[in-house]
Structure 1
Amino acid sequence: MKRSVEDSTALPPVVDRTTFTADLEELHVREKAHTREGDEIAAQRRRLPMVEVDANLTVTGPDGPVTLLDAFDGRKQLLAYYYMWHTGHPATEQCPGCTWCAGQIQEISYLQSRDITFAVFCQGPYAESRAYHDFMGWSMPWYSAVGSLEHLLEGRKIGQMYLISYVRQGDRVYETYWTTMRGVEVMDNNYALMDLMVYGRQEPYEDSPAGWPKQWATEPSRSPKVIDGRPIAQWSRIAAGRSDDLTGGRSATS
């Protein structure tokens, strides 16, 4: 869905190629330092201690309850995205942030090549959340973690998005890392690409020059990931004729 920017919108100053290249190269120095700092942070992450998690905690998948250990699908590592869920609400009211995050992770063969299983652990019931998964056309493994959330998210708030890393040794499971809120942006490529553009994300918190468009609000009632009352990614599914009925007859499109 296209949103045009008026021709009168502010723009950077126009300079010659030599000046442009000099300024860009100065920025590239900072970008490379940022990349190296990211490498160092990742190195520290790999050196964190770990905490054991009950491998027999259950999550519900297409064949019913399975253990956390089973969710590794035979691999050494498991990366689980804990999807926020509004039980009983229609598709239009499901979390736009989680729709944004989960929808980016479609090609998981590269993760699997490194002995990593990626799965969504939804914080809502399996049937209706799986209906959402199917409506969106997603293919990643999908489970409901209802019933085990208190233990899986020990010390953390249930109902918030999380990205949690696990490793197993035999039949024992350990948690090695977790992040939340803007930490889950690592799942997305759209924001990273927007950051390369002159107007960025066009959201109010950004440090941009005066006159830059900031038409995407961040307050809950006006999510930057929603257009015309539903998460942005849903519109292409509706256009394709898919049903967004999650609860047996209460479709938001009818």
Structure 2
Amino acid sequence: MTTSAENGRNDGQPAMHTPPVVSPQDWEAARQQLLVKEKAHTRARDALAAERRRMPWMAVDKTYAFDGPGGKVSLLDLFQGRRQLIVYRAFFEPGVFGWPDHACRGCSMVADQVAHVSHLNARDTTLVFASRAPQADIARLKKRMGWTMPWVTITDSFDADFGVDEWHGTNVFYHDGDRVFRTYFIKSRGDEQMGGTWNYLDITPLGRQEVWEDSPQGYPRTPTYKWWNWHDSYVEGAAPDKRWVEVSTAGEKAFRGESKGTTT
């Protein structure tokens, strides 16, 4: 059976060679066949994240200063008391196409995709955007575009030192007391997938911090699903909601034959 797309178009463009239209039974068989590969892809992605958590760290010995809404802040300040920090270098500054009304189109698409940062915060992780535009311009842009993530101004060689002076990129840091370490860096097409909570957590040294993950000994792990909450309801140090624990546990049991309690 052919579709209308195969029968030609009226806009002068070549006809699309679309897949065949099949019965519900054949469609489900094709879905199950593809699902095998999709499951393998998920397992491979999990294994890659596990390997990423075992990457060596690089000590950050140089002092960096940024301008924030409240004045000067250091790289350590950007963590906001959390152990992990993700810094996305967004291009919004004189010389970038769109200035002063807009940031780079690509960086703006990334900003549009950022999930509510409270979910990252609940996993001891802070997300920050960094540009060379003054804070007044950043505040104006955030208000216009409806963005709420923290956004600081680069004032020194941070961008050049961490590979983001000429192109966008995402750096990941971890701190232990006053010591800061660079743990990961991703750019180009790898960077364009950022925005979702899980993708961000998967590039951090601690990962999603759930029991099913393959993480080094001693890393924080909590039961899957149980820490999830509405973005306006996280309370630091609070135990998971009892009713949600019951609901999620029932859901896990119902599907354990297929998923075995993982997030796949």
> Shorter chain as normaliser: what TM range?
0.5 to 0.7
- Kindly indicate whether the alpha-carbon contact (under 8 Å) linking 2:115 and 2:195 is maintained by their aligned counterparts in 1: no
Distance in 1, matches of 2:90 and 2:61, equals: 20
- Kindly indicate whether the alpha-carbon contact (under 8 Å) linking 1:106 and 1:138 is maintained by their aligned counterparts in 2: no
Q: How does 1:1-254 map to 2 (within 5 A)?
A: 8=9, 10=16, 11-54=18-61, 56-87=63-94, 89-92=99-102, 94-150=103-159, 152-153=161-162, 156-188=163-195
Identity %: 36
Q: Which has the larger radius of gyration?
A: 2
The letter of the residue matching 1:159 is E
- Kindly indicate whether the alpha-carbon contact (under 8 Å) linking 2:89 and 2:164 is maintained by their aligned counterparts in 1: no
Calculate the TM-score normalised by the size of structure 1.
0.66
Distance in 2, matches of 1:107 and 1:152, equals: 29
Cα offset for 1:102? 1.5
- Kindly indicate whether the alpha-carbon contact (under 8 Å) linking 2:64 and 2:158 is maintained by their aligned counterparts in 1: no
Report Cα offsets for 1:71-95 as digits up to 9, x if no partner. Answer: 1001111011111234162325x31
2:116 is paired with a residue whose SS is coil
2:29 is paired with a residue whose SS is helix
What is aligned with 2:257? none
Distance in 1, matches of 2:161 and 2:120, equals: 22
Q: Which has the higher contact order (CA 8 A, sep 6+)?
A: 1
Let me know the Cα RMSD of the aligned residues: 2.3
Calculate the TM-score normalised by the size of structure 2.
0.63
- Kindly indicate whether the alpha-carbon contact (under 8 Å) linking 2:88 and 2:130 is maintained by their aligned counterparts in 1: yes
Tell me the matched-pair count.
Answer: 182
Cα offset for 1:105? 1.4
Unaligned runs of 5+ in 1: 193-254
Distance in 2, matches of 1:86 and 1:79, equals: 21
Cα offset for 1:13? 1.4
